[in-house]
Amino acid sequence: TEKEKEYVIGFSQCGDADNWRKAMIGEMRRELAFNPNFRLLYKQADDNSAVQIKQVKELLKENIDLLIISPNEAAPLTPIVEEVYNKGIPVIVVDRKIASQLYNNYIGADNYEIGKIAGNYAASLLGESGNIVEIGGLPASSPAIERRKGFADALASHKNIKVVKQVNGNWVKPIAKDALLKVIDNVTTPSLVFAHNDVMALGAYEVFKEKQLPPVKIIGVDALPGKGAGMEYVNNGIITASVLYPTGGAESIRNAVSLLNNQPVPKETVLQTLIVDSANVRMTSLQADKILEQQKDIEQQQIVMDKQQQTYQTQRNLLYVLGIT
Ligand code: FRU
């Protein structure tokens, strides 16, 4: 039989310390298991744009057939991504954007919409009036810019609901906590926190608790299923709600496979979102857990198949050594 052509997909990830990024690569590896002739070259940049630029250059040297990238910050990563695209190497941008249209496919939920959903939900929680503290993600990353804008636009018509303080948590809990601790004493009667992701939302919860301040409503983003993640925080009442932000891991691999097989892929793959709160968290986490279980089954089957393949190879080698084939 003719051997199928092997493809190398380069994946440049901005960082992978948090559960959301771990879920993303997990989804990618599972999807890859269905496509054995695609190999993944993976690099993560520890949330550092300069490191990420260097890593994309390294991937280029490895002769990748396609690049998947989640750029740490939009502007700094734009020139190198354009360079890859201009070499004729297909580019899939996932979650965070670059400041250019030179890519084949962008995958992600609409972050402006996510900000709006959070703003409308905040307004419905607060009623007439309230003081909001907003904890933003890394300022130069596209989801932070878009979530902030959507949130502000949703609240524009509510004159007595005000974002009284904005701090940057750069997507990480300890930075969010430090930033909030510095300002929280000077915020008069905060009634709600909007954090651009759930790890920073948890940080806000901890700050209010540690300072023995009256608890506030907290809205986060991600609603990741599993232990120690957003859906659990909603379920335990640590945060009030979270806006679902799918990772796009599986879609990245599927679209990469399509592009490399010369099948059409749309310029934008928009992932669905929804607000997760006490009204639907049980249902949504049950569904998510079921999917996670099925994905684990797939992984197990993959391991069994790999073992069988190894046994088969060993036996073939043995027959060969014995001169039987
Ligand atoms: C994970 C993360 C998510 C957030 C996304 C934005 O690293 O911070 O929590 O939704 O990145 O790009």
> How remote is the CA of residue 73 from the centroid of ligand 1, in Å?
12
What's the helix, strand, coil split of the chain in %, to 5? Answer: 50, 20, 30
pLDDT at residue 231 greater than cutoff 90: yes
Residue of 16, 20, 49, 114 with the most ligand 1 atoms within 8 Å of its CB, for mutation: 20
Question: How many whole angstroms separate alpha carbon 238 and alpha carbon 247?
Answer: 23
Say if ligand 1 is within 6 A of residue 96 CB: yes
129-145 pLDDT tens trace:
999 999 999 999 999 99
End-to-end CA distance of the chain: 17
CB distance 122 to 195 below 8 Å: no
Q: Who's near 321: CB < 8 A, 6+ residues apart?
A: none
> How remote is the CA of residue 95 from the centroid of ligand 1, in Å?
8
Average pLDDT, the chain: 95
* 3-class DSSP assignment, residue 139: coil
CB distance 265 to 286 below 8 Å: no
60-104 pLDDT tens trace:
999 999 999 999 999 999 999 999 999 999 999 999 999 999 999
The pTM score is 0.91
